Structure 1
Amino acid sequence: KNTISEQKIDAAGLILDPNAKTTLAFVDNDETGDRSFSFYRKPGADMMLREDEVNYELIDNCCIFHFGSLSMTDEPVRSATYAMIDYAKKKNKIISFDPNLRPPLWESEDLAAKQIWYGIEQCDILKIADNEIEWLTGTNDYDKGIEIIRQRTHAKLINVTLGPNGSIAYYGGLKVFMEPYLNKDTIETTGAGDTFGACALHAVLKHGLDNLTEEDLKEMLQFANAAASLITTKKGALRVMPEEKEIKELINTY
């Protein structure tokens, strides 16, 4: 560990670690539109968060605690993530998880599977991609994959994203499919899954997680699919997420 004398202090009084990089993700799109990822990390600043540095007030003031597997690839952030999940549970927050599998960031597939199963076992809401189901359960039959996952989770709502083929919501005995909003202006898909997930959580904040109807689920998927479609028409991810007005306009004109 670096001593204070080896570190620099920036204008805001934050300690800068010369050995920790600002993590960068590089996305390559092939001629079919499929993506591959490479990362500038190891160690990245996002990996260095310690349990004693967590701001628990942020969890106190939230309704939903959302996390992904990228904060569980390495220590000390893995232990910090575990601590935040435990705290959120004690505070009766809704727990949301997105595996967001990125194989290059893991030491091994076994470790990735172990941590992703841990996340699945903790959550109330699971957003998972079709390829992640196949990787995790060994089947490309989504219904069978969800059966396997449900044996190890108490998640009330499981949303499966199917890329250009739409999405499915599993809730209790309900299974709801929604067609995609295919867009002729699509240039890349980076951020589509995160946009979908955020919109699904928006619906949960609106309706709650108990007693959702088939209509509620259809509305959720329609909104999330439309938003995911819009982000594929712009380069980038977080900074180009669509506003609610844009999403509703697409739904009304599609």
Structure 2
Amino acid sequence: MKNRVYTIGEALIDFIPNEIGVSLKDVVGFKRVMGGAPSNVAIAVSKLKGNSTFISKVGEDAFGSYIIDKLKEFKVDTSWVYKTNKAKTGLAFVSLKDDGQRDFSFYRNPSADMLLSEEEVEDINLKQGDILHFCSVDLIDAPVKKAHKRLIEKALKTKTLISFDPNVRLPLWESSKSCLDAIREFVPYAHILKISDEELNFITGIEDNEQAIKSLFIGNVEWVIYTLGSKGSLIVTKDNKRFEFPGFDVNACDTTGAGDAFVGALLFKLLAKSMNILSLKNIIEEDLKEIFRFCNAYAALTTTKNGAVDAMHTMEETIEFMENLS
């Protein structure tokens, strides 16, 4: 598979609690794990034997070195991960509720990823058949936002598929309005837009889900993928086709990284099928069923272990899981 998924944005350290069902202020001990949605997606693609490149900046500190080591361990290309002494690697402290849901507290003001510049992505050569993926955390008013815009310009010029998962994290923004403005600014650039059930009404401002999804078809958007956690996922196409795919019933212990696992599985499948902008428009229902059954399974399986990247499974493990449920 010569084509490649490029992800751009934050990589940070998640501190996961040793206890479940305890509020963050009462957690006594944490386990250090690598996090950050774009880096998680790159690792998911690589674990499934796809080619992935992560684009970011980390601090010249122990946490930055750990992130680069982990990316290399998972065979993600780190050619475009820079180091800086002008800021530290970002940190996130997480608490886990009994149902696997999370609360976050972030330390990144600024963090190294925010300092990635447009000049540092200038020599990245995207091509048709590749996929560029980004999220909203690094769309803040910082150099990294310009880096995103420059890479998106290059992707549009080369007809590279563009994927956007807003992955809303309001504690990282000065206000909910600044987060919303940034997301709405970047939605029209994407060919594929992934929205969770928790984000749809916030991003669109529309209470009715059907109308809210329809409102997202602006600019380049061809697919809106609406994820519903354990209930599965829904895809709506620009020409108003609608397909629902059920989830998988598992004993979830930690939902950290499940959305990233879903996106990673999706981008891997699109890469494997050599999808481009035209084939997004013409994909047949049988192919959609095969793709989204796999994505739902991969995301569900991720919730059965703690952490994000360490909970992501191989292709063989995912196929075995799906076969056992058939």
TM-score by structure 1 length?
0.88
Q: CA deviation at 1:26?
A: 1.9
Contact residue 139 and residue 145 of structure 2 kept, 8 A = yes
Alignment of 1:41-190 (within 5 A): 41-54=108-121, 56-57=123-124, 59-60=126-127, 63-150=130-217, 152-171=218-237, 172-184=239-251, 186-190=252-256
Task: Work out whether residues 174 and 214 of structure 1, in 8 Å CA contact, stay in contact via their aligned partners in 2.
Answer: no
What is the identity, as a one-letter code, of the residue corresponding to 1:78?
K
Q: Could you say which structure has the larger radius of gyration? A: 1
What's the offset of the Cα at 1:140? 4.7
1:234 to 293, 298, 305: 305
Q: Choose 80-89 or 57-66, whichever is displaced more.
A: 57-66
| Bigger helix fraction | 1
CA contact (8 A) 1:130 1:142 kept: no
Measure the CA separation in 2 of the matches of 1:192 and 1:9.
28
| Residue 145 of structure 1: how far off its partner (Å) | 1.1
- Taking the aligned partners of 1:96 and 1:188, their CA distance within structure 2 comes to 25
Aligned residue in 2 for 1:4: none
- The CA distance in 2 between the partners of 1:241 and 1:179, in whole Å, is 20
Gapped regions of structure 2 (runs ≥ 5): 1-58, 66-81
The answer on whether the counterparts of 1:21 and 1:40 sit within 8 Å (CA) in structure 2 is no
- What is the CA–CA distance in structure 2 between the aligned matches of 1:153 and 1:228, rounded to whole Å? 29
- 1:52-74 CA-partner distances (Å, limit 9, x unpaired): 12253353597001111112123
Map 1:175-214 onto structure 2 (within 5 A).
175-184=242-251, 186-207=252-273, 208=275, 209-214=280-285
How many pairs does the alignment contain? 243
Counterpart Cα distance in 1 of 2:294 and 2:130? 20
> Can you list the C-alpha shifts for 1:165-205, whole angstroms capped at 9, x where unaligned?
11111123321111111212x21001100110111112222
Q: Distance in 2 between matches of 1:123 and 1:117?
A: 11
Instruction: Summarize the alignment of residues 31-50 of structure 1 with structure 2, pairs less than 5 Å apart.
Output: 31-50=98-117
Amino acid at match of 1:84: L
Q: How does 1:212-227 map to 2 (within 5 A)?
A: 212-227=283-298
Q: Are 1:248 and 2:319 matched, yes or no? A: yes
**Cα distance in 1 for residues equivalent to 2:61 and 2:312:** 33
Going from structure 1 to structure 2, the CA distance change for 1:162 and 1:57 (only over 3 Å counts) comes to: same
Residue 23, structure 1, aligned to residue 90, structure 2 = yes
Q: Is the 8 A contact 1:167 1:177 kept in 2?
A: yes
**8 Å CA contact 2:92, 2:107 repeated in 1:** yes
Per-residue CA deviations over 1:13-67 (Å, capped at 9, x if unaligned) read x7641x5111122221223433211112111011011111225335359700111
Higher-RCO chain (CA-CA 8 Å, sequence separation at least 6) = 2
CA distance in structure 1 between the aligned counterparts of 2:219 and 2:236, rounded to whole angstroms? 13
CA pair 187-58 structure 1, distance change in 2 beyond 3 A? farther
In terms of mean alpha carbon deviation, does 166-175 or 45-54 score higher? 166-175
RMSD of aligned residue pairs (Cα, Å): 2.4
Which segments of structure 1 move beyond 4 Å, counting only runs of 4 or more? 7-11
Task: Pick the structure with more strand per residue.
Answer: 2
Shift in CA distance, 148/38, structure 1 to aligned 2, threshold 3 Å? same
- Paired residues of 1:99 and 1:119 also in contact (CA < 8 A): no
Match of 1:177, SS state, is strand
Provide the rounded CA distance (Å) in 2 between the counterparts of 1:135 and 1:84.
Answer: 27
> What are structure 1's unaligned runs of at least 5 residues?
1-6
Q: Which secondary structure does the structure 1 equivalent of 2:282 belong to?
A: coil
Greater shift, 241-250 or 59-68, is seen at: 59-68
Give the TM-score taking structure 2 as reference length.
0.69
How big is each residue's C-alpha offset from its partner over 1:52-107, in whole Å with a ceiling of 9 and x where there is no partner?
12253353597001111112123111111111111111121111111010001111
Amino acid at match of 2:195: I
